[in-house]
Structure 1
Amino acid sequence: MTDFLERAAAVYPRRVGAVDEPVQPAGSQGELTYADIADLARRQAAILDELDIAAGERVAIVSHNSTRLLTSFYGVSGWDRVLVPINFRLRPDEISFIVEHSGARLACNLFRHQ
């Protein structure tokens, strides 16, 4: 899963890998280079390690489509965990149902107003 990102970060570390929309609910991260994306993914994986989230366990993430969600695909799935992306527009009861039904050990909210 991380082969593409690790190669891009090694060969093109300063090239823009993703651009967030300038106006969005959680505030834009602007342009992220491949090195930035790889670093954010590694940091997310390290936090999951600290929380003892093992390989194969599910991590639910409430987010809109953004660079935060993109890096989570690498930071969670790239380290052998299962990402459960959840649309931030769902009602709290719908989010709860998905989290419970998925068996997620951890639920994170990447959606926050600035």
Structure 2
Amino acid sequence: MHISQLAEISGVPATTLRYYESVGLLPADRDSTGFRIYSDDAITRLAFITAAKHLGLPLIEIRDLLVVCDDHVPPPLRVGLRRQLATHLGEAELRVRELTTFTDSLRCALRRLDSP
């Protein structure tokens, strides 16, 4: 798909997609006219990038973690990446618990407003 299609589907502006390509987050091929062409995997990759950004990860670290999405992770990188992934998984699980607690608080507040 072309960049405009990916931008529309993902909700990520084309300028951001170009930037992600320039910093190694989102690979793109070129068609015969020089336009960027993205595979369907780009949508999944963008979802990962967006989620990781919401967790506060810097783009350079997201780029390192995206190596796992690629077909081959060189053995020397596996130990470090495993450690990073485990750390971020723990952070994400903590965030889920915090959001669940907050959601419960909001539900309680709504019930108070709805009761006479």
Q: TM-score, normalised by structure 1?
A: 0.30
**Which structure's residues are more often helix, by fraction?**
2
**Could you state the TM-score of these two structures normalised by the residue count of structure 2?**
0.30
Q: Which has the higher strand share?
A: 1
